[in-house]
């Protein structure tokens, strides 16, 4: 019993950082409607800056002063990011801003690498709090007790700020209608910057406070973001007490998990989240989100049309070029082209549910990696022939999508996005921790195609046939009654329901289909590389797909494909550089700011302008 209580206290202490980071994310989302992916990066910056400051400043005052200063420094960095990166694009479609924050992640990763190097830093102990206190005979670190005592005050201070002060009233009003707040004489630009700075500062404090219990390393950003999303989703978007309860719940469960079920620590929190969401779809203390906000901002979409003769000729010419490529291209170019087609199919499958369905999935890698793992596991454990195992990739991914979709489709907007991310993290943690089956991060290797496909050229044609075939199938479906019904459900769910369309069921079917296509891409991928690792299931893989869809253009059918081509080539060039993430991040941010309609959308606009015709006048 005493041991359990001590465990509980450890969990409470861990909850402190998690709560700080999660409340910051929740606050920023509430006002700016931006799901700030870079929030984990601010947490990481908090840890590194904290370590540096603690080394510089000695003693009690130095330690706590360093923590305080860290928050202020990270808050200032947050304000800078908001002003430079986000301010120019608030009018762009919401989800484009996500891509920008992802660019920020990449930039901060490389900047941290430049400044602090690749080595992990151990956090210094808090002066005067090095030992333990015995509680019911069990040792509990003194620092833990101090943190447990501090956290409720932070919660109270935040709660007071939001519910009892003028600033809080303005923040809550801006959450609902920022333009109106501006029309009432409030400078909302500074309100946004202030909220973003506060949210970032909270993440920075979270990073600094956990230092004596952990340390600082370059993987912290992605490691915490999954947990933070889970906390925000369980607690309910925008609810501070909810975030606190959820942070405690997750942290305590985590500590108990480490003791009793050490293989399941990562999986456990997602299971808890799934259970909570089945009972309360909008989290413990959350409220239903107004649906249909996402992707609806910006200029209205023009109706889709089949390509004209010029367009068809271009596509045929491109296909002919691809088919003739092995005649003159070398092996490296063919491999690059295989990567590109695989990525294009993966992106097209995400584009299908995102563009036509309005379903913004943050966890699409689950199906790509899931398909790859399904095929690889069969080959690895049962020596299944490649042809059969390959078929299993889309099948398994489709089944996985049915399972995950069953939970996720019931939600909308940001809840849907977060839940898909959490489920993909669940799949990732299975691959990572269930070592007996998946070999963990050693990956599954020697997954090669059958002899008739083992050459680069035959595999290139195999990829071309299935990859391009899959993309064309998706394209055809977008033009079919099913695709129209999907779009109807996105444009106006209310009208769609009132004309006999079961919107959720249509979305469910589309989600499963997208899963099948992503799994197909995963299948082609695994046999082209001969191996698969948990990295294919990571958040970063899902984000890659999201980025290419947005870079290509959500509102154009070719968006995913063009974006994938751009990204594959760009990564191929950039990864030769030492700080390629920095460059890529800056490129992403630049594209978002300069071409907010995506590459295809912007090209189309340029084309229209060059021809000097007015599309609307013609219609």
Burial annotation 354-380 (CB, 10 A radius, 16+ → b, else e) = bbbbbbbbbbbbbbbbbbbbbbbbbbb
Least Cβ distance, residue 298 to another protein (angstroms) = 10
Among residues 410 and 439, whose Cβ is nearest to another protein? 410
Q: Is 497 helix (H, G, I), strand (E, B) or coil?
A: helix
Choosing from 265, 456, 492, 531, the residue that interacts with another protein (CB under 8 A) is 492
Binding to another protein in span 459-478, by CB under 8 A: 476-477
Choosing from 309, 310, 446, 619, the residue that interacts with another protein (CB under 8 A) is 619
Mask 548-587, x = binds another protein (CB under 8 A)? ----------------------------------------
Residue 172 binding another protein, by CB under 8 A: yes
Q: Which stretch binds another protein (CB under 8 A): 260-268, 370-378, 464-472, 485-493?
A: 485-493
Residue 183 binding another protein, by CB under 8 A: yes
Pick from 38, 6, 43, 48: which is nearest to 21 by CA?
43
Considering just the CA atoms, what is the radius of gyration of the chain in Å?
Answer: 25
Least Cβ distance, residue 118 to another protein (angstroms) = 44
Residue 297 binding another protein, by CB under 8 A: no
Is residue 206 within 8 Å of residue 24, measured between CB atoms? yes
Alpha carbon distances (Å) from 104 to 111, 148, 167, 541: 10, 32, 28, 16
Pick from 311, 163, 296, 317: which is nearest to 240 by CA?
163
Among residues 32 and 251, whose Cβ is nearest to another protein? 32
Residue 180 binding another protein, by CB under 8 A: yes
Tokens 């860290």: give the residue: 70
Compute the half-sphere exposure of residue 411: CA atoms within 13 Å on the CB side of its CA. Answer: 29
Q: Which stretch binds another protein (CB under 8 A): 40-48, 271-279, 457-465, 487-495?
A: 487-495
DSSP 297: S
Token digits of residue 556: 């154009």
Among residues 55 and 177, whose Cβ is nearest to another protein? 177
Least Cβ distance, residue 474 to another protein (angstroms) = 10
Tokens 């130095």: give the residue: 62
Beta bridge partner(s), residue 122: 215
Among residues 189 and 336, whose Cβ is nearest to another protein? 189
In angstroms, how far is CA 449 from the centroid of its own chain? 32
Among residues 9 and 506, whose Cβ is nearest to another protein? 506
Helix axes 503-529, 365-382, angle to 10 degrees: 50
Choosing from 213, 294, 475, 487, the residue that interacts with another protein (CB under 8 A) is 487
Q: Which stretch binds another protein (CB under 8 A): 139-147, 168-176, 402-410, 559-567?
A: 168-176
Token digits of residue 387: 């042809």
Among residues 342 and 401, whose Cβ is nearest to another protein? 401
Least Cβ distance, residue 381 to another protein (angstroms) = 35
Q: Are strands 121-122 and 215-216 parallel, antiparallel or unpaired?
A: antiparallel
Q: How many other C-beta atoms can be found within 10 angstroms of the C-beta atom of residue 282?
A: 18
Least Cβ distance, residue 205 to another protein (angstroms) = 28
Tokens 């500074």: give the residue: 190
Q: What is the dihedral of CA 209, 214, 218, 223, to 10 degrees?
A: -90
Residue 501 binding another protein, by CB under 8 A: yes
Alpha carbon distances (Å) from 584 to 45, 105, 544, 567: 20, 11, 11, 9
Q: Judged by CB under 8 A, how many residues of this single chain contact another protein?
A: 53
Choosing from 62, 146, 258, 491, the residue that interacts with another protein (CB under 8 A) is 491
CA separation for the pair 31, 502 (Å, rounded): 32
DSSP 412: -
Choosing from 114, 131, 187, 332, the residue that interacts with another protein (CB under 8 A) is 187
Residue 184 binding another protein, by CB under 8 A: yes
Q: Which stretch binds another protein (CB under 8 A): 131-139, 172-180, 242-250, 311-319?
A: 172-180
Q: Cβ-count burial of 198 within 10 angstroms (0-12 exposed, 13-18 middle, 19+ buried)?
A: buried
Residue 173 binding another protein, by CB under 8 A: yes
Least Cβ distance, residue 301 to another protein (angstroms) = 4
Residue 451 binding another protein, by CB under 8 A: no
Tokens 């946004």: give the residue: 192
Least Cβ distance, residue 296 to another protein (angstroms) = 9
CA separation for the pair 440, 532 (Å, rounded): 10
Among residues 299 and 606, whose Cβ is nearest to another protein? 299
Residue 300 binding another protein, by CB under 8 A: yes
Least Cβ distance, residue 592 to another protein (angstroms) = 21
Q: Which residues contact 545 (CB under 8 A, 6 or more apart)?
A: 343, 346, 347, 350, 364, 365, 368
Is residue 511 within 8 Å of residue 408, measured between CB atoms? yes
Least Cβ distance, residue 30 to another protein (angstroms) = 11
Choosing from 179, 310, 436, 594, the residue that interacts with another protein (CB under 8 A) is 179
Residue 482 binding another protein, by CB under 8 A: yes
Among residues 94 and 536, whose Cβ is nearest to another protein? 94
Least Cβ distance, residue 306 to another protein (angstroms) = 8
Among residues 482 and 580, whose Cβ is nearest to another protein? 482
In angstroms, how far is CA 401 from the centroid of its own chain? 17
Q: Which stretch binds another protein (CB under 8 A): 36-44, 162-170, 323-331, 457-465?
A: 162-170
Least Cβ distance, residue 297 to another protein (angstroms) = 12
Alpha carbon distances (Å) from 479 to 29, 55, 316, 475: 35, 62, 19, 7
Least Cβ distance, residue 87 to another protein (angstroms) = 12
Choosing from 354, 506, 547, 548, the residue that interacts with another protein (CB under 8 A) is 506
Residue 479 binding another protein, by CB under 8 A: yes
Residue 279: left (phi > 0), alpha (psi -120 to 50), or beta?
A: alpha
Choosing from 177, 330, 441, 572, the residue that interacts with another protein (CB under 8 A) is 177
Choosing from 118, 499, 594, 610, the residue that interacts with another protein (CB under 8 A) is 499
- Site residues (CB under 8 A) for another protein? 166, 169-170, 172-173, 175-177, 179-189, 299-304, 306, 476-477, 479-485, 487-488, 490-492, 494-495, 497-502, 506, 509, 614, 616, 619
């Amino acid at each position: 019993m005493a041991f359990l209580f001590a465990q509980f206290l450890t969990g409470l202490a861990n909850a402190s950082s998690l709560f700080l980071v999660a409340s910051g994310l929740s606050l920023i989302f509430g006002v700016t409607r931006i799901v700030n992916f870079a929030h984990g990066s601010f947490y990481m910056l908090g840890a590194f800056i904290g370590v540096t400051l603690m080394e510089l400043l000695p003693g009690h005052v130095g330690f706590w002063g360093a923590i305080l200063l860290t928050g202020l420094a990270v808050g200032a960095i947050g304000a800078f990011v908001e002003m430079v990166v986000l301010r120019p694009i608030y009018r762009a479609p919401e989800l484009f801003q996500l891509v920008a924050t992802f660019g920020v992640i990449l930039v901060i990763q490389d900047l941290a690498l430049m400044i602090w190097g690749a080595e992990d830093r151990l956090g210094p102990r808090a002066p005067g709090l090095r030992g333990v206190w015995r509680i019911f005979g069990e040792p509990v670190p003194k620092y833990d007790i101090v943190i447990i005592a501090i956290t409720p005050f932070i919660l109270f201070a935040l709660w007071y700020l939001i519910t009892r002060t003028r600033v809080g009233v303005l923040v809550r009003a801006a959450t609902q209608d920022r333009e109106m707040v501006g029309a009432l004489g409030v400078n909302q630009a500074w309100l946004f910057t202030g909220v973003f700075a506060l949210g970032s500062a909270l993440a920075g404090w979270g990073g600094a406070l956990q230092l004596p219990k952990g340390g600082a390393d370059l993987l912290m950003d992605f490691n915490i973001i999954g947990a933070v999303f889970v906390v925000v989703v369980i607690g309910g978007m925008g609810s501070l007490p909810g975030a606190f309860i959820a942070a405690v719940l997750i942290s305590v469960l985590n500590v108990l998990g480490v003791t009793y079920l050490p293989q399941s620590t990562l999986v456990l929190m997602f299971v808890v989240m799934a259970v909570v969401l089945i009972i309360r779809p909008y989290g413990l203390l959350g409220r239903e989100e107004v649906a249909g906000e996402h992707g609806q901002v910006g200029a209205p979409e023009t109706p889709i049309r089949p390509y004209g003769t010029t367009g068809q000729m271009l596509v045929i010419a491109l296909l002919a070029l691809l088919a003739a490529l092995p005649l003159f291209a070398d092996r490296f170019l063919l491999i690059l082209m295989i990567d590109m087609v695989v990525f294009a199919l993966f992106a097209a499958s995400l584009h299908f549910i995102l563009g036509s369905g309005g379903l913004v999935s943050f966890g699409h890698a689950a199906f790509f990696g899931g398909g790859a793992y399904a095929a690889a596991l069969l080959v690895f454990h049962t020596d299944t022939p490649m042809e059969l195992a390959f078929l299993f990739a889309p099948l398994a991914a489709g089944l996985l999508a049915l399972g995950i979709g069953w939970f996720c489709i019931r939600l909308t907007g940001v809840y849907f996005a977060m839940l898909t991310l959490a489920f993909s993290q669940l799949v990732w943690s299975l691959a990572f921790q269930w070592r007996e089956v998946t070999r963990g991060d050693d990956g599954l290797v020697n997954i090669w195609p059958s002899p008739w496909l083992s050459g680069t050229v035959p595999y290139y044609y195999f990829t071309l046939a299935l990859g391009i075939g899959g993309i064309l199938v998706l394209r055809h479906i977008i033009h079919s009654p099913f695709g129209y019904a999907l779009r109807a459900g996105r444009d106006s769910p209310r009208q769609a329901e009132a004309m006999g369309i079961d919107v959720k069921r249509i979305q469910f079917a589309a989600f499963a289909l997208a899963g099948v296509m992503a799994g197909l891409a995963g299948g082609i991928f695994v046999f082209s590389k001969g191996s698969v690792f948990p990295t294919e299931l990571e958040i970063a893989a899902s984000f890659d797909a999201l980025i290419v869809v947005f870079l290509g253009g959500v509102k154009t059918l070719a968006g995913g494909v063009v974006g994938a081509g751009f990204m594959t080539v760009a990564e191929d060039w950039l990864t030769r550089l030492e700080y390629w993430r920095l460059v890529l991040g800056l490129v992403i941010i630049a594209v978002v700011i300069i071409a907010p309609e995506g590459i295809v959308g912007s090209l189309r606009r340029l084309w229209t302008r060059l021809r000097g015709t007015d599309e609307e006048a013609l219609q």
